[in-house]
């Protein structure tokens, strides 16, 4: 079992390709309101979780809610792929503005597993090339996360390590 320490005063970014299990992981380890999902926010602003055109508005709303939560001293988890450095930068900045620690939890799952999982889902009908591109971005991100300002970087390699992980909150 791997215990991942997460400071209570933190902004946690889940990082992983589509199908890596971020939403599943969030549901297992964090409270209902602690997790802000980009899908959910796309739904809120457009009525369609899969409407990629709604992504900018969704993230604007998500960051606004994250800021409100951090101001209230509430641990907050961002459930989005977060595989691009530009996407992560805003959240590191947000954490700093609110004096909380940016933390990354990376779900590093083989491309084949993610592709197979998504094939069985409705609404995740983008092809394997999307997962491949995200995998490439993730690989580059793994080397960069520390320098980007994340104070803790937890990397879970593979399905078994993810299944065995627990979260330990530290005051
Ligand atoms: N899944 C699974 N076993 C796991 C984790 C996930 O079978 N240990 C399945 C889920 O039931 C879901 C799919 O794999 O059907 C994708 O998992 P999800 O948690 O939704 O992945 P995300 O990383 O959240 O994908 P996305 O970025 O597309 O939201
Ligand atoms: Mg998800």
Q: Which parts of the chain fold into alpha helices (H)?
A: 22-29, 38-46, 55-71, 85-97, 111-119, 128-144, 158-164
**ipTM metric:** 0.99
Atom 21 of ligand 1: nearest residue by CA position: 21
Which run of H or of E encompasses 108? strand 101-108
Residue nearest to atom 3 of ligand 1 (CA): 21
In this prediction, residue 125 carries a pLDDT of: 76
Predicted pLDDT at 31: 98
Q: Give the atom of ligand 1 at the shortest distance from the alpha carbon of 26.
A: 19
The pLDDT score that the predictor gives to residue 124 is 81
Residue 101, pLDDT score: 98
- Determine the pLDDT at residue 51: 94
Mean pLDDT split into 10-residue runs, the chain, 171 residues = 95 98 98 98 97 97 98 98 97 98 98 95 85 97 95 98 98 90
CA dist., res. 128 & res. 150, Å (int): 29
Distance, in Å, from the CA atom of 47 to the CA atom of 142, rounded to the nearest integer, reads 33
Structure confidence at residue 147 (pLDDT): 96
């Amino acid at each position: 079992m791997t215990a991942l320490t997460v400071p209570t005063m933190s902004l946690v970014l889940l990082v992983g390709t589509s199908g890596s299990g971020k939403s599943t992981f969030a549901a297992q380890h964090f409270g209902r309101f602690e997790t802000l999902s980009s899908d959910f926010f796309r739904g809120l602003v457009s009525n369609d979780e899969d409407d990629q055109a709604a992504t900018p508005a969704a993230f604007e709303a998500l960051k606004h809610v994250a800021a409100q939560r951090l101001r209230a001293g509430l641990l907050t988890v961002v459930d989005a792929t977060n595989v691009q450095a530009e996407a992560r930068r805003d959240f590191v900045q947000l954490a700093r503005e609110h004096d909380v620690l940016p933390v990354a939890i990376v779900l590093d799952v083989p491309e084949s597993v993610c592709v197979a999982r998504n094939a069985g889902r409705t609404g995740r009908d983008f092809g394997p090339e999307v997962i491949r591109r995200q995998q490439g971005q993730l690989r580059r991100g793994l080397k960069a996360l520390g320098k980007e300002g994340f104070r803790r970087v937890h990397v879970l390699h593979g399905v078994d390590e993810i299944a065995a992980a627990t979260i330990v909150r530290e005051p």
